[in-house]
A and B are shown apart, each in its own frame.
Chain A
Amino acid sequence: MSQFDLDKAMNKLKSRGFDEYATELSSSRTEQVRFSRNNKDLYNIWDQSTLVIFASRGKRTVTTSVKDPDRLDSSIELLWGLAGKIPENPSFEGINPETQEGYRVEKLAGIDYDLHDLSQEVVNSSLEAGAERAAGVLYNRTNTIEVRTKYNQCTFTTGGLEVVIRSFKGNNTGQEGRHFGLKEKVDSKKIREIGHQSAEALSLAPGRVDFNPGKYDVLMSPYVIGNLMSYSSSFLSYYSVETGLSCFSESLNKGVSCDSFTLVDDPVDSTGVGYRACDDEATKTGPNVLIENGVLKNYMHSFSTSAHAGTKTTGNAGIISPGAWQLKVLPGAESAPKMISELDEGLLINNCWYTRYQDYRNAIFSTVPRDGVFYVKNGEIQGSVTGIRISDSIPNVLSGITGISRETKNVKWWEEIAASNMPYVLSEKIGITKSF
């Protein structure tokens, strides 16, 4: 357990004269196994505690992280001195003073997994399903977070198991990246299923097909829509709206997608590793409906940004810059196999990465498909496609949605997909470019 004395930290911040302050102590134990070419590369073990302090003198805001309990007093003294020397931060409107009741704190504790055995199971199931080699990573995290402000305090435990496996056969690849919160232990049957699924894309197509760039209907897997939502969720932060870098700045209460598209930030779902009972200023979290039945209903707010917008905080602090915790696109009525069988002409894309924007304000981007990219005609997969990009805009992708599957997955992968729960999504007339 952490050696920090939070009572002492809070008393010191108060007695030193800070007007507002919030502390967040994170004490975590993480283990990880990395593997490639079917064999273990490295076993990592982390034991860490960090105290993050946010404090203000009037509107002069300072943030620091403290690793050493013996340096707590001197760090707070340093904060005080520096806060007297900097300009005011007009973005800061104070820390949420409203007394919080009903935190959704679940009784969760770390789960013991044998990552070495699980890594062998997931590799073996990939190989049994046809892969020639597999690479991946497993994490097991337990993180106890204690947030305190002048007004509120909340302690919760989060974390869980993450499994990423990529299967290779010749030039073909398939990948799965899943996350499981601390709510229940994952059994080895599930792990084998993930390994097996990662290899499914390897045998879906008879071979490569030539492909012309243009506008196509695209069936995006949970990983693709997860990637696009991860890379575009900041546009739904009111901080981005204020900055002038959001494609949704004029869209509140307007239609941005089809009737069946609902996007929620849901940090209180403890089946995922993104579970969080409060935000950085101890505001209780809860499902925040961002887009409901295609209509933009809310931005993500901290107390400060909500004051600017004349609304209530949504529990998404970042005190200065709010952000998403655990996104969900709610399931639709379709089945993914049926969506493929009803596709006249288009693409099925299983994963993508390296999403980059040339224009944040209009959210014009491209992303590189991988791990199973298939040309579909008359409901049948004709072959795999390489060397292409989705090159379009987020507003176009959302407004083009015509189908959402009822199947969803808890997806998370590296820095490309934040912990989220996503279905298959069909979007029409998406720009596809290719290399020449």
Chain B
Amino acid sequence: MEGDLIHKILDYASSRSKFAEARYMDLNVNQVGFRNGEFQGLNFDSERGYAVRVVNRSISMAYSDSNDWTRVKESIDRAIEKSNFDGKNRIYEGDAIKDSWKVRAKKKLEDYSIEDRVTIVRENDSAMGSSGASVRVNSMVDKRINQFYVNSTGSEISGEISRLFYFYLVGVAESGEFEQSTEQFGSSSGFEFIEKLDLQNRIEQDLTDLHQSAEAPRITPGKFDIIVGPEISGIVAHESCGHPTEYDRIIGREGAQAGESFLTGKEFPLKIGSPVVNVVDNPSLGGSFGFYKYDDEGIPSRKRYLYKGGETNEFILNRESAAQLGTASNAGGRSSSWNLEPLARMSTTYIEPGDYKFDDLFDGVRRGVYIKSFTEWNIDDIRFNEKYVGKEAYLITDGDISGRVRRPTIETNTIKFYSSIDAVGNDLEFSAGMCGKGDPEQGVDVWMGGPHMRLRGVYLQ
């Protein structure tokens, strides 16, 4: 099966519905891993199939991996039957678009041998061993996706995507204490991304930090001025801006899973925090892990300001939630596989850089903590009450770093966090993640990032 049935599927479905679309997706995924110096085998998966959406009195979708038309038709017939029951049925149709696109890769995934892949992961595992790690887990995943999207308004869009993802977990035991670090890197590109990462040096530095953090003192809980690193700016942008501005959440579509949003029922624009903060979601950022030219509903991607000047600005919309809002989709419709519905999703979400040089952020911080990175984190289902536990962290005394501290914890809420920001750095770094949402849950590839930022008077535990 190579997607041959897609036009037949669309013709059949659109003749029996007010709006119909079909998507064929072919995913080829390779994964290699090492654990504590031992190779853990090779997995390679080849997934392909069709998704069909029909809109009548309600919306239904059918997913089939069969190349037998009779069987595919049976699933479509069932979807059409179910779409004639009452339910929500608004969907943004938009204009017809015909195009094709592909991710640019200098060192193509298909040109890299399995031995090349094994060598990359083995060398990183060895670097962990040489630096005194007691737990070493490394995994590299590469995937090639070919997708063809058609709909009843006349759109026909094909896309070729290549993505790389590297995950490691490393742990050290020091004087009876244990410290761990997990890091994730990803890009929409070829193997040039992994080569540029200089992972071995990153790992060695991470292990040096873990050894020292394991022996560092805890802070005495209280209020501090804090400087957070790009990794924390990124997770905050993702969790307490990106998720609550997904419009399907705001209108309750994820209510029984990841929840609604603290923005549900509010009037907009709503003040969130300091006017120096802008948060962007930008799927059109080339090379980013969440890059796409068209979303999985055939809408052209663009940069979106979610918070601007400290206020809500734009929501993340797919075809369905855009129709609920009465506007056009802004290309937030993403699906991680052929057999999953497209939902309103983030791509690359980041706090926009400001004017401050890194050193200038420390000016005037008499008693503070610099939290460069985080380990445990979580947030409540309306994306308001959040927690970030520092991984690499230092005390600041009279504007200077004065020693490491262990696992300082921010446990606050979205409004307090964004309102505490008084200075935004001029740097910008991204980290990769798998963002989970939907039922069945689907993880989509995202970047999250930002600059260093200074926050005043934050309670740390």
B171's partner among A245, A354, A389, A434 (CB-CB below 8 A) is A245
Interface residue? B398 (CB, 8 A): no
Shortest beta-carbon distance from B449 to chain A in Å: 20
Contact of B85 among A40, A165, A245, A353 (CB under 8 A): A40
- CB of B459 within 8 Å of the partner chain: yes
| CB of B62 within 8 Å of the partner chain | yes
Q: Which of A19-77 contact B (CB under 8 A)?
A: 31-32, 34-37, 39-50, 60-68, 70-71, 75
B224 to chain A, nearest CB (A): 12
- Report the number of A-B residue pairs with Cβ-Cβ less than 8 Å: 242
Judged by a CB distance under 8 angstroms, whether B211 is at the interface is: no
Indicate the member of B43, B171, B439 with the most A CB atoms within 10 Å. B439
Cβ A387 vs Cβ B413 within 8 A: yes
A90 part of interface (Cβ distance < 8 Å): yes
CA distance A67 to B378 in the complex (A): 36
A362 within 8 A of B: yes
Question: Complex: how many Å from CA A386 to CA B83?
Answer: 39
Instruction: Return the contact of B87 from the options A40, A50, A137 (Cβ within 8 A).
Output: A40
A91 on the interface (CB 8 Å rule)?
A: yes
B39, closest chain A residue (CB): A87
Check if B35 is an interface residue, CB within 8 A of chain A: yes
A86 at interface, CB cutoff 8 A: yes
Per-residue A-contact encoding for B51-83, CB less than 8 Å = 1, 0 else: 000000011111111111001001100110011
Partner of B49, one of A48, A65, A386: A48
Which B residue sits closest to A29, measured CB to CB? B75
Please pick, from A39, A63, A133, A359, the residue contacting B43 in the complex, using a CB distance under 8 A.
A63
Task: Assess the A164–B43 pair: CB atoms within 8 A.
Answer: no
Most B CB contacts (10 A, CB to CB) among A60, A75, A436 go to A436
The residue that B135 contacts in the complex, of A82, A116, A137, A245, with Cβ under 8 A, is A245
Q: Could you say which of B96-104, B250-258, B307-315 contacts chain A? A: B250-258
In the bound complex, do residue B255 and residue A36 qualify as a contact, i.e. CB atoms below 8 Å apart? yes
Q: Are B40 and A91 in contact (CB under 8 A)?
A: yes
Which residues of B have CB within 8 Å of A229?
Answer: none
The interface-forming segment of B15-23, B291-299, B381-389 is B381-389
The CA of A174 and the CA of B376, in the complex, are separated in Å by 26
Contacts of A71 in B (CB 8 A): 46
Decide yes or no whether A374 CB sits under 8 A from chain B.
no
B58 touching A37, Cβ below 8 Å: no
Q: Using CB atoms, name the residue of chain A closest to B78.
A: A45
* Neighbour of A48 across the interface among B63, B115, B118, B375, CB < 8 A: B63
Which residues A87-137 have CB closer than 8 A to chain B?
87-92, 116, 133, 135-137
What's the Cα separation between A50 and B407 when bound, in Å? 44
A166 in complex: contacting residue of B36, B255, B378, B380, CB < 8 Å: B255
A10 at the interface (CB under 8 A from B): no
CB of B28 to closest CB in A, whole Å = 10
B62: contacting residue among A47, A91, A243, CB under 8 A? A47
Instruction: Enumerate B246-294 residues with CB–CB distance to A below 8 Å.
Output: 251-257, 259
Contact of A64 among B43, B79, B173, B409 (CB under 8 A): B43
Contact A43 B82 (CB under 8 A): yes
Q: In the complex where A39-B88, A64-B43, A358-B407 touch, is A137 in contact with B439 (Cβ < 8 A)?
A: yes
- Flag if B389 contacts A389 (CB, 8 Å): no
Tell which of A265-273, A324-332, A365-373, A403-411 binds the partner.
A365-373
Complex contact B82–A436 (CB within 8 A): no
B126–chain A nearest beta-carbon distance, Å: 13
Shortest Cβ distance from residue A94 to the other chain B in the assembled complex, whole angstroms: 14
The CB with the most chain B CB atoms within 10 A, among A3, A34, A165, is that of: A34
Q: Flag whether A360 is at the interface (Cβ < 8 A).
A: yes
Residue of B nearest to A117 (CB): B85
Q: What chain A residues lie within 8 Å of B379 (beta carbons)?
A: 354, 368
Contact of A66 among B46, B118, B135, B173 (CB under 8 A): B46
| Contact among B45, B83, B87, B413 with A39 in the assembled complex (CB-CB below 8 Å) | B87
**Separation of A192 and B212 alpha carbons in the complex (Å):** 57
Q: Which residue of A lies closest to B64 (CB)?
A: A47
**A63 to nearest B CB, angstroms?**
5
**Is A43's CB under 8 angstroms from B385's CB?**
no
Instruction: Tell me which residues across on chain B come within 8 A of A365, comparing CB atoms.
Output: 376
Q: When the two chains form their complex, are residues A82 and B71 in contact, meaning their CB atoms are under 8 A apart? A: no
B35: chain A residues at CB < 8 Å are: 91, 243
Does A244 touch B at the CB level, under 8 Å?
yes
Does B412 sit at the interface, judged by CB under 8 A?
A: yes
Cα A365 to Cα B409 in complex, Å, equals 13
- Chain B residues near A296 (CB-CB < 8 A): none
Choose among A65, A88, A164 the residue that contacts B45 (Cβ–Cβ < 8 A). Answer: A65
B374 vs chain A, min Cβ distance (A): 9
Taking a contact as CB atoms under 8 Å apart, the answer to whether B411 and A389 are in contact is: yes
Contact between chains at B135 and A358 (CB < 8 Å): no
A133 to B134, CA, bound (A): 50
User: In the complex, are the beta carbons of B88 and A67 less than 8 A apart?
Assistant: no
Are B135 and A40 in contact, with the CB atoms below 8 A? no
Residues of A near B341 (CB, < 8 A) are: 42, 44
Rounded to whole angstroms, the CA-CA distance of A83 and B32 in the bound complex is 12
Q: Within the complex, what minimum Cβ distance (angstroms) separates A376 from chain B?
A: 21
A244, B134: Cβ atoms closer than 8 Å: yes
Complex contact B41–A61 (CB within 8 A): yes
Q: Which residues of chain B are within 8 angstroms of A136 by Cβ–Cβ distance? A: 255-256
Q: Known interface pairs A45-B79, A135-B256. Does A358 touch B375 (Cβ–Cβ under 8 Å)?
A: yes
At the interface, yes or no: A320 with Cβ under 8 Å from chain B? yes
**Are A366 and B82 in contact, with the CB atoms below 8 A?**
no
- Shortest B99–chain A CB gap in Å is 27
Q: Does A361 contact B (CB under 8 A)?
A: yes
Which chain A residues border B47 with CB–CB below 8 Å?
A: 65, 67
Within the complex, the shortest CB–CB distance from A4 to chain B, in Å, comes to 11
- Whether, in the assembled complex, B113 has its beta carbon less than 8 Å from a beta carbon of chain A, the answer is yes
B169 neighbours in A (Cβ, 8 Å): 245
State how many angstroms separate the Cβ of B436 from the closest Cβ of chain A. 7
Q: Which of B324-354 contact A (CB under 8 A)?
A: 339, 341
Write out the residue numbers on chain B whose beta carbons fall within 8 Å of the beta carbon of A175: 256
Q: Which listed residue (B36, B61, B254, B409) contacts A243, Cβ 8 A?
A: B36
Q: Which residues of B contact A (CB under 8 A)?
A: 1, 32, 35-36, 38-49, 58-68, 71, 74-75, 78-79, 82-83, 85-88, 113-115, 118, 122, 134-135, 137, 169, 171, 173, 178-180, 251-257, 259, 320, 339, 341, 375-381, 385-387, 389, 407, 409, 411-413, 416, 436, 439, 441, 459, 461
Can you add 14 more A-B contacts, CB < 8 Å, to A70-B67, A85-B114, A166-B256? A3-B68, A34-B253, A36-B256, A47-B65, A47-B75, A49-B66, A64-B46, A86-B114, A91-B35, A368-B385, A414-B256, A435-B412, A436-B412, A436-B459
Give 16 CB contacts A-B under 8 Å. A44-B61, A44-B341, A45-B62, A60-B41, A63-B42, A64-B45, A75-B46, A82-B44, A83-B42, A86-B41, A89-B41, A135-B254, A243-B135, A358-B180, A368-B378, A435-B412
Can you list the 5 inter-chain pairs with the closest CB atoms, starting with the nearest?
A135-B255, A40-B87, A358-B376, A436-B459, A61-B41
